[in-house]
Amino acid sequence: MTPPRRSDMSVRVALVTGANRGIGFEVCRQLAVRDVVVLLTARDAAKKLGNAGTVEPLGLDVADASSIEKKAAEVASRYGQLDVLVNNAGINYDTWETVENADINSTVMETIATNLLGPWRLCQAFLPLLRKSRAARIVNVSSESGSLAAMGAGPPAYQVTKAALNALTRTLAGELRGTRILVNAVCPGWVATDMGGAGAPRSVAEGAAGIVWAATLPDNGPTGGFFRDGKPLPW
């Protein structure tokens, strides 16, 4: 089947990072069955979702600025705009470290590059395309681990980068307030994924649903918020 192109203005296009498995993969599936054209940043995973709707591979390394710029140009060429950006890629739930002994040059820098700078660079690169949408949505997949309200000891690189991602969400939402772009952070909860572990109480489908909710908000929906299951969380 030939993928829809931007000449059909009813087509909505979403880019989801970190979608080769787990929550990101399920987000892609749930968006695809809603007739959203999904750009999934893993070729093999895209093939597995062929029956769900239109899912296209878009190889992209969120920790590589040049990769992001190249893929933004590719999406511009293929579609002319972007309607949904889901910054889902995240790494290093570093329970093996503390602030005192964390490996700053390895674990910490890697986590910053993926969990914070990746979404920041993606927002910069794709905002020109999101501005062309009639109703654009940016969803930063965060974690309640990044909530300052209840934060204590925990995986240091992960917690600090998720708190920073929340701050980026608030800052960007403030800059874009009054536009047609809504920006929110979503915590999927403790989900049974490779990172969450098999004993987690929430299914992948449950975790993904809150992200899809934020990705498909109506025009009068919230912006600059932090949510789980569509309900506000404390910052």
Cα separation, 107 vs 156, in Å, equals 10
Q: What is the dihedral of CA 153, 156, 162, 166, to 10 degrees?
A: 60
- Angle (CA) 68 213 69, round 5°: 5
**CA nearest to 166, candidates 232, 105, 109, 210:** 232
Per-residue pLDDT 10s for the chain (235 aa) are 444 454 455 789 999 999 888 889 999 999 999 999 999 887 666 777 767 678 898 989 999 999 999 999 999 999 999 999 999 999 999 999 999 999 999 999 999 999 999 999 999 999 999 999 999 999 999 999 999 998 999 999 999 999 999 999 999 999 999 999 999 999 997 665 666 666 676 788 888 999 999 999 999 999 999 999 999 999 9
Predicted pLDDT at 48: 74
Catalytic residue positions?
158
Query: pTM value?
Result: 0.92
Predicted pLDDT at 20: 84
CB burial readout 48-79, b (16+ within 10 A) else e: bbeeebbbeebebbbbeeebbeebbeebbeeb
Please, which residues bridge with residue 36 across strands? 12
